[in-house]
């Protein structure tokens, strides 16, 4: 078990931010912690990384207790805070080098994390010269320096433009093949794009804990596709098992299929056959959307 939260309550002076929260995260899972702003996500993540203490209850991270074994918890987790305070005047390597010294990490690891996070082409620049997407990579590289088993990422994709978003999602997915990732977001689509499981939090309480696979079962399927050019809705209705086509904005279409089978490859073939380019292609989970709305309203 990578993370086990047991009856955690957190009270700030006059406000209860977490109320008797319990959940578990298994090894090598990518779990989304989904909730509206103010739900208590960052508070939980600060407790799991030992930045703050819970008022009541405890949590085990990698088998270590956050209340009594902080040092071992710290060496087990990599943390990307919500507003990652990067030093804009430092060069990427200077920043990572400084933190490698602080953590007592071998210098050879710096180039490893640079490569792992796709930073190589930007590694010689000052952090201040980098785009938001690349700054997030620096934050991820930093979180990975001491090669922790568990990564805790607080809103890792917030504020990124659509291209950066896709790149960081892919990177997180790749890292998630080897590590346990617990990431927060207030955007449902981020959970669909990256996670195996979702824990929904609202007003300091866990209101749902589900595997996305289970949510998808028995549902119609909605695929969101963006082409590089306009396509007639009627044209898209020629796809197999289509029940509905909606042009949501620009060249973005929501296509509903009456099947559980992943239809993205059919959409891809369709685009190829008709000489269209695909700019984005995602499965939308109709069921998660309604669950989230219902539980957080």
Beta bridge partners, 153, equal: 80, 183
- The only residue of 2, 42, 62, 202 in contact with Mg ion, by rule CB under 5 A: 42
Instruction: Give the nearer residue to Mg ion in terms of CB position, either 155 or 192.
Output: 155
CB of 17 to ligand ADP, least distance (A): 3
The enclosing H or E element of 270 equals: helix 264-273
Strand segments (E) across the chain: 3-12, 15-25, 30-34, 56-61, 64-65, 77-80, 150-154, 180-185, 197-202, 205-211, 221-227, 242-249, 252-257, 278-284
Range 54-83, binding Mg ion (CB under 5 A): 82
3-state SS record for 195-229: CCEEEEEECCEEEEEEEHHHHHCCCCEEEEEEECC
Q: Say whether residue 81 binds ligand ADP (CB under 6 A).
A: no
Q: Say whether residue 43 binds ligand ADP (CB under 6 A).
A: yes
C-alpha distance across the termini of the chain, in Å: 32
CA distance 9 to 223: 39
CB of 15 to ligand ADP, least distance (A): 5
Q: What is the largest CA-CA distance in the chain?
A: 63
The full DSSP string for 177-199 is: TTSEEEEEES-HHHHHHH-SEEE
Could you say which of Mg ion, ligand ADP, none residue 35 binds, taking C-beta under 5 to 8 angstroms by partner kind? ligand ADP
CB of 88 to ligand ADP, least distance (A): 24
Instruction: Give the nearer residue to ligand ADP in terms of CB position, either 42 or 164.
Output: 42
Contact (CB, 8 A) for 20 and 205: yes
CA distance 258 to 249: 23
Could you say which of ligand ADP, Mg ion, none residue 114 binds, taking C-beta under 5 to 8 angstroms by partner kind? none
CA distance 270 to 266: 6
CB of 2 to ligand ADP, least distance (A): 21
Instruction: Give the nearer residue to ligand ADP in terms of CB position, either 206 or 263.
Output: 206
Task: Give which of 61, 62, 75, 5 is closest to 33, Cα–Cα.
Answer: 5
Instruction: Give the nearer residue to ligand ADP in terms of CB position, either 17 or 30.
Output: 17
- The only residue of 42, 50, 62, 157 in contact with ligand ADP, by rule CB under 6 A: 42
C-alpha of 267 from chain center: 25
Instruction: Give the nearer residue to ligand ADP in terms of CB position, either 12 or 268.
Output: 12
CB of 154 to Mg ion, least distance (A): 6
Q: Say whether residue 35 binds ligand ADP (CB under 6 A).
A: yes
Could you say which of ligand ADP, Mg ion, none residue 139 binds, taking C-beta under 5 to 8 angstroms by partner kind? none
Could you say which of ligand ADP, Mg ion, none residue 234 binds, taking C-beta under 5 to 8 angstroms by partner kind? none
Q: Say whether residue 12 binds ligand ADP (CB under 6 A).
A: yes
Instruction: Give the nearer residue to Mg ion in terms of CB position, either 20 or 82.
Output: 82
Binding part of the chain for ligand ADP, among 31-39, 145-153, 192-200, 275-283 by CB under 6 A, reads: 31-39
CA distance 38 to 292: 15
CB atoms within 10 A of CB 238: 9
Residues forming contacts to ligand ADP in the complex (CB under 6 A) are: 12, 15, 17, 35, 37-43
Residues forming contacts to Mg ion in the complex (CB under 5 A) are: 41-42, 82
């Amino acid at each position: 078990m990578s993370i086990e939260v047991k009856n955690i309550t957190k009270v700030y002076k006059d406000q209860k931010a977490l109320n008797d929260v319990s959940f578990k995260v298994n090894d090598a899972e990518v779990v989304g912690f989904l909730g509206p702003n103010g739900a208590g996500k960052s508070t939980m993540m600060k407790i799991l990384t030992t930045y703050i203490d819970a008022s009541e209850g405890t949590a085990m991270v990698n088998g270590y207790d956050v209340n009594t074994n902080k040092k071992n918890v710290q060496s087990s987790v990599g943390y990307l805070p919500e507003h990652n305070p990067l030093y804009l005047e430092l060069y990427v390597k200077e920043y990572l080098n400084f933190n490698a010294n602080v953590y007592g990490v071998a210098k050879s690891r710096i180039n490893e994390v640079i490569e792992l996070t796709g930073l190589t082409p930007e590694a010689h620049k000052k952090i201040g010269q980098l785009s938001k997407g690349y700054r997030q990579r620096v934050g991820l590289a930093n979180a990975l320096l001491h090669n922790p088993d568990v990564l805790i990422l607080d809103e890792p994709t917030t504020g990124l433009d659509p291209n950066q978003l896709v790149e960081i999602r892919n990177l997180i997915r790749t890292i998630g093949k080897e590590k346990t990732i617990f990431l927060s977001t207030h955007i449902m689509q981020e959970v669909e794009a990256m996670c195996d499981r979702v824990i929904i939090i609202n007003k300091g309480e866990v209101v749902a804990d589900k595997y996305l696979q289970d949510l998808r079962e028995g549902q119609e399927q909605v695929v969101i596709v963006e082409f590089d050019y306009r396509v007639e809705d009627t044209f898209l209705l020629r796809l197999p098992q289509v029940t509905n086509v909606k042009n949501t904005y620009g060249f973005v279409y929501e296509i509903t299929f009456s099947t559980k089978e992943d239809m993205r490859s059919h959409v891809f073939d369709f685009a190829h056959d008709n000489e269209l380019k695909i700019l984005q292609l995602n499965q939308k989970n109709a069921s998660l959307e309604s669950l989230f709305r219902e539980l957080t309203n």
